[in-house]
Amino acid sequence: KYYTICTKIPPSIISLLPQWSLFLIIFLQHLSTITSTHPTTHRPPTNQTDNHRSIRRESRERTPSIPQPSNSTMRLNSAAVVAVLAASSAIDAYVHQLPRDFLTRRTARSSQLPSGPLSFGVEKKDRWQNMKDLSTALSMAFPLKEGEVSNMFEGPRPLVKERDACGVGFIANTSSGEEFGTHKVLKEGLAALDCMEHRGACGGDGVSGDGAGIMTQIPWKLFSEYRSESCPQPGVGMVFLPQNEERRNAVKKVIEEVCEKNELKFLGWREVPVDADSLGPMAKAAVPSMWQMFVKAPERLNDDEETRDGFERTLYLVRRRIAVELHDAGLGWEDNNDDEVYFASFSSQTIVYKGMVQGCVLPQFYKDLQNPDYTTKFVIYHRRFSTNTNPRWPLAQPMRVVGHNGEINTLIGNVNWVKAREKSKTLPAEKLNDLVDAENTDNIVMLCNTQDVPNVLEPLVDLNRSDSANLDAVFELMTKSRHRAPCALMSLVPTAYENEPSLRDNPEIVDFYKFHGGLLEAWDGPALLVFSDGKSIGASLDRNGLRPARYSITKDGTVYMMSETGVIPDLDEADIVQKGRLGPGQMINVDLKSGEFKDNIKIKSEIASRHPYGEWLAKGRKDVDKLAFSEERLYDDATATFAQGTFGWGLEDIGMQIQDMAGSGKETTYSMGDDAPIAVLSERPHTPYNYLKQRFAQVTNPPIDPLREGVVMSVAMTLGKKESIYQVSEKGARLIHLKSPVLNDAEMERIASFAEPENGAFKQSTISTRYALADGPEGIKKAIDAICDKAVEDVRNGVEVVILSDKAAGQSEFEESTYIPPLVAVGAVHHRLIEEGLRMDTGIVMETGSAWSTHHFACLIGYGANAVHPYLALETVKQWHGSSRTQSMMKAGKLKETTLDEAQQNYRVAVENGLLKILSKMGISLLSSYQGAQIFEAIGLGEDVINTSLKGTTSRVGGVSLADIASETVMMRPESASEKAKLTNYGYYKPVPKLGEYHANSSDLAKLLHDAIGLDKTVSAATNRDEVENDGVKPKSVANYEIFKKSLESAPLANIRDLLDFESDRESIPIEEVEPVSEIMKRFCTGAMSLGALSREAHETLAIAVNRVGGKSNSGEGGEDVIRGKDITDVDEKGRSPTFPHLAGLKNGDSANSYIHQVASGRFGVTPEFLVTAKQVEIKMAQGAKPGEGGQLPGPKVSDYIATLRASKPGVTLISPPPHHDIYSIEDLAQLIHDLHAVNEKAGVSVKLVSSIGIGTVACGVAKANADVIQISGGDGGTGASPLSSIKHAGCPWELGLSEAHSALMNNGLRDRVTLRVDGGIRTGRDIAIAAMMGAEEYGFGTIAMIAEGCVMARVCHLNTCPVGVTSQKEELRKKFPGTPEHVVNFFLFVAEEVRELMAHLGYS
């Protein structure tokens, strides 16, 4: 088989040839390859047929009546791959390879190119010139529109360009001083800001701060010349203007004109006195011209003096109007980034001074802050840590209302819902003409769309702004309506009120949260928020409380709130009368008029008592609790199996997922990572879910722990029309509340009962997503338009619950129709309703047979569904439970005995817990916040799919179209329904011979590598190792390594890098000029595989081998035995050591001490000895196979020895928490890096990240935090144990992450500070060469290194039953371990030599 692959000689002839001749043929082929002409010389195309069988082709033959897409259809736009990598890394050493056509997904290598026309319209005769052009020109994933330079959508700016964290606090004293406060408050605030320096960072020049600022009461004594009896407190604007005088004057003119048009009498400009010499070089190069403007309140607002609400609304709306006029005049900052125009504040009550400076520089730059006449009753201070090194003055904080320390994880969804909410407002746009009348401005804020009128007002929210700026904008709008600032924050960032003991005596607070939770999705994520609207000042923590916040109150009434104690240097403990700290979801508030301090309960009770929320809820809210499951079957077995096949189910989905979920109430645990092709390159049909990768939190925001913090998490959802959040009324309580988003038949009937007039009159409609099979692939577009039009029509007619259903009545309907995949359907309807301004008027239930995995539910809810009725999954549970095999397993004790109702309940529990796990990876607590948040990245979906159903989703490469998805859906259909019919085993998880999915790591591959490196798996301590020469290590074989390498080269496409080939910019050189193997191997590392996941034999063998070649072995999580810290010096002539009697093939001078010692969140095995014996300490922020989660070691693998190392109990499963308990944000990581450097001064510190969109800006933050090494792991990395959905659906290819990180570090001037390391599925020298071109300097081997020491890819690591003792802790299995350090060294030698050959071929030494 393998000689056929390598030589392309038919098997019939292969069998007649002696083995030496086959070796010779392979050698000559290899020789001709490395001595060929320049690698850019392309060979002509051939029509050689691929040997691999295709389910695609068989499916096409079974359904000849279905129109198929033409052979020119391309699945993955590899021009887009080149574009991404070239844009990220400036690589000119690649040329794309043409992808296979859609039906067979066949792509040949460069010597075997397809002969059909290309989809981008170039005929066969022009193809070679086209390929040459593609190698030098940047081609986009989707066709460029006129004027576009690029249309690759990476994601919103806060995700991919810049993230931040900070130190924040406030000081308030309303009793000291005169009417306008004291200068002492300001001085103390500036001193506290200076003490926050460890919470901030500097730009690329090391001097310019990432941002520092203060918000205070307006210093009226300082501005006395602009005040008068008729205008004692004018509106004051703090404005960043262009440095260019001509442009600045033009901006001023526009501002003055807008103010005059809106009856704001202009009182004058004041140039703010500054000292530009105090700035760092980068800040000085970008500093705006600082000015203040003063305006008098309109005459029509004379009766507004006491509250000043009308004046504040006018200033607010005029500021947004000015932005529009400046843009129209070509004077907005977005038109010229060097001359920013930005209002830091525009109010008659508060003012903001901020800039790209360090905390101590702020009062040096702004001379006003040194003036004794600057008096105030309060100050909010903020010091920023940004992942970006290029200063932008407007991004400094505080914002206009909020000082924010944290990150909003649900930002995309929050912004989408704000847009939907604004669009649903009904006040005519002409009302926007009058921005002065108090009643009219009140109506504008509450009832008029202020987002989609860019010709009148600056849009409320924008994903080009930071998360803090968007939160501030919504918060500010709510404070301009009838919400007080504490009320607005309680709504936006709610506490976990359910089952909260401290609220037991305050039901009004619980009712407040229940009411507003139905109206407004939480802005979820770790946050400490300090806020002021000029009337009060306060602070609040998010529901998890992952940010530090302490406060002290002194005898003179001063309230100090700070991130940590000690920031007020002269604060005397004797003067403190009260101390406290904010707990999760808690708030404090100070009334700036009365001076009253209000604790959490007092302020919230005061706010909650303003309306009878409890009464409203009792009248209007309808609850759907969890009801009993039906035991009645929907289909007979034949129809059920046909339906399962139609919806993409495979045998594995029932045998693994349904069995585990229904049998034990838990998601399937699996091992070894994801070595199957990404969906777009797979030769098997995939549902659209598989093209989406879950995003996750790392460094800049923490994941949370669904096990330890379940009390603050919830999967509750609502259905119905959501009323305005700006105008609270009884109607807002009229909603259907769902205890679970996973609905059964009884709960669907309960929801249907609410349509009765006497039971709520919630009008409902069911829209079928099925369409005629005869319509062909193009029919899907028509079907999508039809369901969207119907949904719009129904909602306009008052429908409050839309049910999208792909249910078929029976076998005949299944045979005559197909369906819109539910992800495509729900996304299309969701976005269409947003566009029409109707999304807030209804809830969407997805009734589908194509949802069974936790990832499926997460996708459906993440793209807009309020709930899911998985009717076929529940039907499958019934079918599984009633099968003779299941019943036999229960009787035999292999499965816990359950009733049918219990099995269905188990399934729902497993889905709910899986959803919580997925939420927690991103640091999100509420499923209602996750809904519509679209926290995914698409890999391999085309432009029409993204624009129709997944708007706003990151998509860096092109791929399948809607028609392709329709064809792929049909290809899953079984041939017919019969009692004997069985589902296809696609082999997505476990390899299946012949028809199963391709897996890069297999037992066959292991056998090939073992033959090359001289490993005989039958030789071990359990057999005859002591009796054979050299411990059974055979001579390594170059010919066999060539076969191993050829098998990978000729395998089906699996990764993005498989679409790339080399194109050098220089001639080849003699291999003697290339650096030696010994130097290349110093760049090799092993993956972080823990002692516990691996046996002691496997773990120590890897460490010794890598140490021999001068590379870097990695301990993984869990510590190491102190005995490994010393070199081995007691080895006898047989290679045995009494210190390590379980190992073979040792040499005196060997070291079993891992070069890299990993520190993970569980701190298992982390001792002083462990830290000081490391040459490098690695902080595990994420793991490729399960990013956003902690480590997992099944109980059976926790032996006495492992338990001793980890200070735990034998037999108890160890799951370390996600990395958040000590790393809340980027500045906390910086502190941990500092601490580890202090513990071991000689050791560098590395930080392990996982590839995902936005990793570039995260890497910049890590570099600024003084890490020495950044590791980029691919999402396909191996694991000893992990939830199956995490292995398959989280994390992206390292090709994308590495090139993004390298590019971002280069652009920010940080690349020389760190070493970049990469791992995840690296197997050959070709992989290393590609990684090197993308910026990596060190290369990690994980699974393939295990194979090199004897792993046979049995994929039972999590079960503790490894047949060769590589991943087992059982003594009898460990004795079967066949590996020695020499085997691993042999593998590294082969890879390093392959790298040398490639370098010589490409002309690099």
Q: Write out the two tokens for 1054.
A: 């699996």
Asked if 446 contacts 727 with a C-beta cutoff of 8 angstroms, the reply is: yes
* Residue 1355: other Cβ atoms inside 10 A: 22
Q: Which residue has the tokens 């020389």?
A: 1312
Q: What are phi and psi of 1064, to 5 degrees?
A: -85, 160
- Please identify which of the residues 6, 166, 448, 1085 carries the catalytic annotation: 166
- Distance of alpha carbon 958 from alpha carbon 530, whole angstroms: 43
- Distance of alpha carbon 1373 from alpha carbon 559, whole angstroms: 65
- Name, in order, each residue with C-beta under 8 angstroms of 471's C-beta and a sequence gap of 6 or more: 402, 404, 408, 414, 492, 523
Q: What are phi and psi of 698, to 5 degrees?
A: -160, 130
- Name, in order, each residue with C-beta under 8 angstroms of 507's C-beta and a sequence gap of 6 or more: 614
Determine the 3-state secondary structure of 364 from DSSP. Answer: helix
- Distance of alpha carbon 698 from alpha carbon 409, whole angstroms: 11
- Distance of alpha carbon 269 from alpha carbon 293, whole angstroms: 5
- β-strand 1338-1341 against 1084-1086: which pairing, if any? parallel
Determine the 3-state secondary structure of 736 from DSSP. Answer: strand
- Distance of alpha carbon 823 from alpha carbon 951, whole angstroms: 12
- Distance of alpha carbon 904 from alpha carbon 982, whole angstroms: 23
- Distance of alpha carbon 670 from alpha carbon 649, whole angstroms: 19
Residue 321 amino acid letter: R
Beta bridge partners of 403: 530
- Distance of alpha carbon 708 from alpha carbon 546, whole angstroms: 13
Nearest to 951 by CA among 799, 870, 833, 792: 833
How many Cα neighbours within 13 Å face the side chain of 1218?
A: 28
- Name, in order, each residue with C-beta under 8 angstroms of 753's C-beta and a sequence gap of 6 or more: 759
Question: Is residue 166 among the annotated active site residues?
Answer: yes
In our burial notation (b when 16+ CB lie closer than 10 A, e otherwise), range 1037-1070 reads bebbbbbbbbbbebbbbbbbbbbbbbbbeeebee
Asked if 532 contacts 350 with a C-beta cutoff of 8 angstroms, the reply is: yes
How far, in whole angstroms, is CA 174 from its chain's centroid?
A: 44
DSSP 655: I
* Residue 1126: other Cβ atoms inside 10 A: 12
- Integer angstrom CA distances of residue 912 from 133, 630, 869, 915: 51, 19, 13, 5
- Largest Cα separation within the chain, whole Å, is 109
The DSSP H or E segment spanning 243 is none
- Distance of alpha carbon 541 from alpha carbon 527, whole angstroms: 6
How far, in whole angstroms, is CA 82 from its chain's centroid?
A: 23
- Distance of alpha carbon 691 from alpha carbon 949, whole angstroms: 13
- Distance of alpha carbon 1296 from alpha carbon 1146, whole angstroms: 40
Q: Write out the two tokens for 538.
A: 């306060």
Asked if 950 contacts 962 with a C-beta cutoff of 8 angstroms, the reply is: no
Q: Write out the two tokens for 290.
A: 């600082």
In DSSP notation, 238-299 reads EEEE-SSHHHHHHHHHHHHHHHHHTT-EEEEEEEPPB-GGGS-HHHHHH--EEEEEEEEPPG
Asked if 817 contacts 780 with a C-beta cutoff of 8 angstroms, the reply is: no
Is omega for the bond preceding 507 within 30 degrees of 0, making it cis? Answer: no
Catalytic residue set: 166
